[in-house]
Amino acid sequence: MSDQEKPGRGIIYGMCDPRTNELRYVGKTINSLAYRIRRHMTPGVLNRYDTHHTRWLRQLRELGLYPKGIIIMELPLYLLDEAEIFWIAYMRRLGANLTNTAEGGTGGVTRKGRPNTPEHNRKLHEGLRRAHLNGLIAPVKWSDAAKRAHSEARKGMKFTDEHRANIAAAKKGKKQSPEAVEKRTEALREALKVRGYSPGIGKKISESKKGKYTEAMQKSLELAHASRRGVPITNEHKEKQRQAIGKLNWEKVDEIRILLKEGKMRKVDIAKLYGVSPRVILSIQKEETWKPEYHPSKQSQ
């Protein structure tokens, strides 16, 4: 019988410290989670070995505490070893202080005793990915305890430039659902309300504002005609032309500059908030457009 024909299913589980809810151990089992944790806590196991893992469990036992168990995922038996290797490495990469003494699977080595090569690990991860796509592994439903442990493991992490580039490449080309877009817009709207800003998202344009937009477009056309008639166009005229054509005004530009200065929102989110491209936000930040010297407050002086 081949590995893929083995019947049954197993689970990848975690054990958390009840004092901090921090994830401290990742393992695999074909039994129930409660039974496996009981086996970890039996005196025969705790007193037989002297490892980082058993010392942690003995400390809990002396305090009268018991580790919290969480089910990370359920999957077929033939994928259990590869999944354990993956989750131990993944949680450690996130910064989890695990007590595992091995890398998972069959101890982190092949049956011939040779360490797994990067190519072999890549194939294991590809197999897990295909199993997810083919429905062999049920979607992971994180429990509240698992979410807390995951959050604790990620606290204080600083992503490298390479990691950020990998995240951006993975998300590139993916379209967000209308629900996700609406949820993000609502969150941004509430954030601005807390700060006392009112960008007017979703509001209908009044007749007076429509008149102002029409007047701005007329000014833009006049500047364009003057350019064709050979009348020299100054930098100030070009600046006014860009302002007239755009969707922004000085009030909104001031709000954008405040948001950029606070640094709590990404440029792409600010761009979506005001209905412009991220390049426009970058130009405002670099003062390539909407230059401060043309601000109405300075013009009136």
**Closest among 128, 126, 18, 125 to 67, alpha carbons compared:** 18
Per-residue pLDDT of 69-122, as tens digits, reads: 999 999 888 888 888 988 998 888 888 899 988 887 664 433 445 566 777 778
Q: Which pLDDT belongs to residue 183?
A: 82
Q: Which pLDDT belongs to residue 233?
A: 57
**Closest among 71, 92, 54 to 10, alpha carbons compared:** 71
Q: Which pLDDT belongs to residue 80?
A: 87
Query: What residue segments make up the domains of the chain, in order of their start?
Result: 3-169, 180-299
Q: Which pLDDT belongs to residue 186?
A: 81
Q: Which two tokens stand for residue 130?
A: 């295909």
Q: From CA 221, how far away is CA 243, in angstroms rounded?
A: 12
Q: Which two tokens stand for residue 74?
A: 């359920």
Q: Which pLDDT belongs to residue 253?
A: 87
Which positions of the chain have pLDDT values less than 50? 1-5, 107-112, 201-202, 244-245
Q: Which pLDDT belongs to residue 112?
A: 41
DSSP state string for 165-178: HHHHHHHTTPPPPH
Q: Which pLDDT belongs to residue 109?
A: 38
**CB 125 within 8 Å of CB 63:** no
Count of beta carbons in the 10 Å neighbourhood of residue 128: 20
Q: Which pLDDT belongs to residue 237?
A: 57
**CB 26 within 8 Å of CB 85:** no
Q: Which pLDDT belongs to residue 1?
A: 42
